[in-house]
Amino acid sequence: MTTTLVDMGSQDRRGGRNSHKDADFSAYMAARQPALYRTAYLLAGDHASAEDLLQNAFAKLYLSWDKIRDHGALDGYVRRVMVNENNSLWRRAWKRREHSTDTMPETGAHDTYDDGMGGALWSYVQTLPPKQRAVIVLRYYEQLSEAEIADVLGISAGTVKSQASRALAGLRARAPQSLNPRESGDAS
For residue 67, the minimal CB distance to another protein (Å) is: 14
The closest alpha carbon to 150, from 163, 142, 141, 160, belongs to: 160
Q: Which stretch binds another protein (CB under 8 A): 6-14, 70-78, 136-144?
A: 136-144
Confirm if 108 and 50 have CB atoms less than 8 A apart: no
For residue 175, the minimal CB distance to another protein (Å) is: 8
CA–CA distance, 154 with 134 (Å, rounded to integer): 12
For residue 103, the minimal CB distance to another protein (Å) is: 14
Name residues contacting another protein, limited to 154-173 (CB under 8 A). Answer: 154-155, 159, 163, 168, 171-172
Of 1, 29, 68, 157, the residue at the interface with another protein (CB under 8 A) is: 29
Q: Which stretch binds another protein (CB under 8 A): 7-15, 69-77, 125-133?
A: 125-133
Name residues contacting another protein, limited to 62-121 (CB under 8 A). Answer: 62-63, 87-90, 92-94, 96-97, 100, 108-114, 117-119, 121
For residue 186, the minimal CB distance to another protein (Å) is: 4
Q: In this complex, which beta carbon is closest to another protein, that of residue 22 or of residue 70?
A: 22
Q: Is 12 in the site for another protein (CB under 8 A)?
A: no
CA–CA distance, 78 with 36 (Å, rounded to integer): 8
Confirm if 45 and 109 have CB atoms less than 8 A apart: no
CA dihedral 105→106→112→115, nearest 10 degrees, is -80
What residues line the site for another protein (CB under 8 A)? 22, 25-26, 29-30, 33-34, 37-38, 41-42, 47, 51, 54-56, 58-60, 62-63, 87-90, 92-94, 96-97, 100, 108-114, 117-119, 121-122, 125, 129, 131, 136-137, 140-141, 154-155, 159, 163, 168, 171-172, 175, 179, 181, 184-186, 188
